[in-house]
Amino acid sequence: MFFRNFQLFLVFLLISLTFGKSKIVDRFFVLEEDILQNENNNNENNEGEEEDAIVSLPGLNFELNFKHYSGFLKVSSNHFLHYWFVTSQGNPLKDPLIFWFNGGPGCSSLDGLLSELGPYIVEEDGKTLNKNPYSWNKYASIVFIEAPAGVGYSYSSDGNTTTNDDLTSLENYEAIKQFFARHNTFRNHSVYITGESYGGVYLPTLGARIVDGQGEFPINLKGMAIGNGYMNAKMNIDTSVRFAYGHGIIDQKVWNTLEMECCRGCIDGCDLSGLGQSCGRMVEDIFEFLWHSGLNPYDLYRDCDPSPGRNSMKMEVIKRGLIPPKMLHRIYSNSTKTLRWNLKSTLHGSPSVPCLNDTALTTYMNLPEGVFLHYTYNK
């Protein structure tokens, strides 16, 4: 966890140093420091701030030196996004304000809060919260937003959580505006939008809306930071297959089969994400194996966290980290489809993020004392 947090922090720090004094880069990076000088905003009431204050946390094992809030932000007529806000341990009146989004799509940002960059870490017992020595809120206030509606505690009042990237960016933008209505004393702070994984889609689209909306709703945006970003679906598949070959997960014979049978003898310029039918299924199985076999797709040479809810594959092939050659050496026919689906059903042992153990976090967030998050608010 430390290395993952440290990598994200370096990205955050690099963008802060690189763009802190710049003008807008492309459409979504930095605004001049003096773009917001509307002092009247600070004189308005913070609508709903006190009712969102968290007064206690079950299992808290250290003394807090910051404030924290939880509530729902109405982003449309029927969608309400849950947020958890922790103020800076430094100088909350001056320190930057960070908005954090986990990816997925479908991953709760409380995962980031309680197991990555937030001030608390859930212990293995699922009941105790200890202090995170690497928390980003040592230097900034952070807003963790669960998006889109249907993720975590965020919900739709009519039960319809159908969405897409455009709608998600619109509602995330509205959530930021609604946050400032509740916590208006942070209105003029330097703002950074940050996240990981599918944040590679969430953040650029959100940043574009913030920049385009400056005339109507000024936000002191200084930059964005994306860790392990999912930027492009086709590129992700193509590069993952090449990554698997480069690290010995598929052997030379499999690679030669791909090159000769699917790429006309030239794999370097071959679009591995655009292959049809049987070749496409071969690529799909390599991709599936890399992500759901028990290997660690986030750090290939580290072990996965053990999870009682995850199907453990007691197969020598997993120990070797090598896809069964008999599965991939042939172009698929009806006789091999059973092998494919048996492998798939074995690989997908849990709906959780591959290789991460979320048992303690899930246990904690389902404690009876969970009303501390005000998750019955407006329901």
Give the residue extent of every domain in the chain. 68-227, 234-332
| Per-residue pLDDT tens over the stretch 18-63 | 334 333 333 333 333 333 333 344 445 566 688 899 988 999 999 9
CATH fold match for the domains 68-227 and 234-332: yes
Give φ, ψ of 170 to 5 degrees. Answer: -65, -45
Give φ, ψ of 129 to 5 degrees. Answer: -110, 120
Quick one: 68-227 is in which CATH superfamily? Alpha/Beta hydrolase fold, catalytic domain (3.40.50.1820)
CB atoms within 10 A of CB 333: 8
Average pLDDT rounded to a whole number, residues 144-152: 96
Q: Is the pLDDT of residue 210 over 50?
A: yes
Q: Is the pLDDT of residue 347 over 50?
A: no
CATH number, domain 234-332: 3.40.50.1820
As a whole number of angstroms, the distance between CA 197 and CA 230 comes to 5
Q: What is the pTM of this model?
A: 0.78
Short-list 79, 283, 37, 294, CA closest to 172: 79
Helices (H) and strands (E) in the chain, counts: 11, 9
Q: Is the pLDDT of residue 152 over 60?
A: yes
Short-list 337, 71, 325, CA closest to 181: 71
| Per-residue pLDDT tens over the stretch 68-122 | 999 999 999 999 999 999 999 999 999 999 999 999 889 999 999 999 999 999 9
Q: Map tokens 């209105």 to a residue.
A: 187
Kindly give, in sequence order, each residue whose CB lies less than 8 Å from that of residue 37, ignoring residues fewer than 6 positions away.
188
* Helix, strand, coil percent content, the chain, rounded in steps of 5: 40, 15, 45
Stated as kind and residue range, the H or E segment containing 288 is helix 277-292
